[in-house]
């Protein structure tokens, strides 16, 4: 294992994996998320609950998860910044 890998935060990496999976394939139920990211179901539930609490995901009435406002706002802000950079280059 490289020295830089030792300083990485595994739980953060797992949470980001979950966000990416839900963004690409959502809405998804917890069991499918757990299988996809290869985590125990209990660990997946803890991460999902945290991501919902912080607004990155939303749990729907059927128990599936989709991107929350924080992710959508981040995506919108990123697109806006890219458009502004493009316009600055063209001008």
Would you say residue 77 has pLDDT above 90?
no
As a whole number, mean pLDDT of residues 1-30 equals 87
Instruction: Provide mean pLDDT across the span 12-17.
Output: 94
CA pair distance 56, 39, nearest whole angstrom: 19
Q: Which of 6-15, 27-36, 67-76 has the highest mean pLDDT?
A: 27-36
The confidence score (pLDDT) of residue 55 equals: 93
Does 76 score more than 60 pLDDT?
A: no
CB atoms within 10 A of CB 70: 15
φ, ψ dihedrals at 80, nearest 5°: -65, -40
Domains within the chain, CATH numbers bracketed: 10-90 (1.10.10.10)
- What's the pLDDT score for residue 50? 97
């Amino acid at each position: 294992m490289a020295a830089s890998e030792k300083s990485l935060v595994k739980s953060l990496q797992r949470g980001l994996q979950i966000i990416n999976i839900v963004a690409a394939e959502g809405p998804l139920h917890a069991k499918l998320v757990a299988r996809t990211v290869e985590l125990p179901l209990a660990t997946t539930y803890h991460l999902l609950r945290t991501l919902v609490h912080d607004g990155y995901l939303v749990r729907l009435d059927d128990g599936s998860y989709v991107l929350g406002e924080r992710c959508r706002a981040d995506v919108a802000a990123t697109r806006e910044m890219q458009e502004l950079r493009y316009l600055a280059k063209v001008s």
